[in-house]
A and B are shown apart, each in its own frame.
Chain A
């Protein structure tokens, strides 16, 4: 009986350790994280993680991969973020200047109230597609650590340039224009 009890206890302990190990493996395998900005800066052209999110500017959803064949400027923002207010007119201008060349600007509003986001869009007269991710579930896949961040994707959905922080200086704007040109060349 003592031997049997010891065997049961050992079995439970081994089972628990195996369960914890499987959890660790599962976490590592399913983790989408990665610093896309760093990878893009090295010129690796990492694939942008796909998402399907509710639209803020109209009914329905938008799937990033449905924009394949067009260049995409994906801007991660929130209405409470101060640099987002400064760069919003820049992004609207990029959209208006390049939409006929096959560029789509997508605003990804995260960790925000829908109502505040819509008010922000009206205030800055944003006319490009806006999607909403209240919990911010898509951010980890892009390695987003703060607001705003902007990713320029080529026609195959690869990140050609990333901006950590606002696109608000002359230098940033010139870099963004150059990245858009590169994205549309492919």
Chain B
């Protein structure tokens, strides 16, 4: 019984020293959803084109050989180019694809803020006094109102 804490501590130490032991191998299904068939341009899990089937086999072979998810993706990029990735890489030119929508959102927010500011300022300016009514018209309105109230 006294050995249990020691065994637990040893297991924890091993996990810290060798984090790769704890890492699970990549799943073929996950990779197939993140990689694109170069012929039909849908993700591999949606394609049964011959080249897509060949790529699926390649992924399973590399998983069985102990390769990592990134290693498998890199190998496929070396063969088919970056177009094989369903999402662009978060580095180099591919980073633009991630940053541009954020930049667009920020620019849109600035435009909306400027418009709201302009609109609220216009609303806060005091209303100009209305021009006086024609005396004759005012007299007739008063008469009509008096008749209506009586």
Contacts and interface: CB of A to CB of B under 8 A. Distances in A.
A15 B18 CA distance: 54
The 9 residue pairs across chains A and B that have the minimum distance between CB atoms: A135-B81, A5-B118, A80-B50, A2-B118, A5-B114, A111-B38, A134-B79, A134-B80, A80-B51
Nearest to A8: B114
A1 B80 CA distance: 54
B122 A2 contact: yes
Interface string B68-85: 000000000011110110
Nearest to A112: B51
Interface residues of A, number: 19
B20 to A, nearest CB: 27
Interface of A: 1-2, 5-6, 8-9, 12, 78, 80-81, 111-114, 116, 134-137
A56 B38 CA distance: 19
A123 to B, nearest CB: 15
A111 B54 CA distance: 11
Given A12-B111, A111-B38, A1 B118 contact: yes
A3 to B, nearest CB: 8
Contacts of A2: 118-119, 121-122
Given A9-B111, A111-B51, A112-B51, A135 B118 contact: no
Interface string B99-129: 0000000010001001101110110000000
Given A2-B121, A80-B51, A81-B50, A111 B80 contact: yes
A137 B115 contact: no
B66 to A, nearest CB: 19
Contacts of A114: 79
Contacts of A9: 111, 114-115
Contacts of B118: 1-2, 5-6
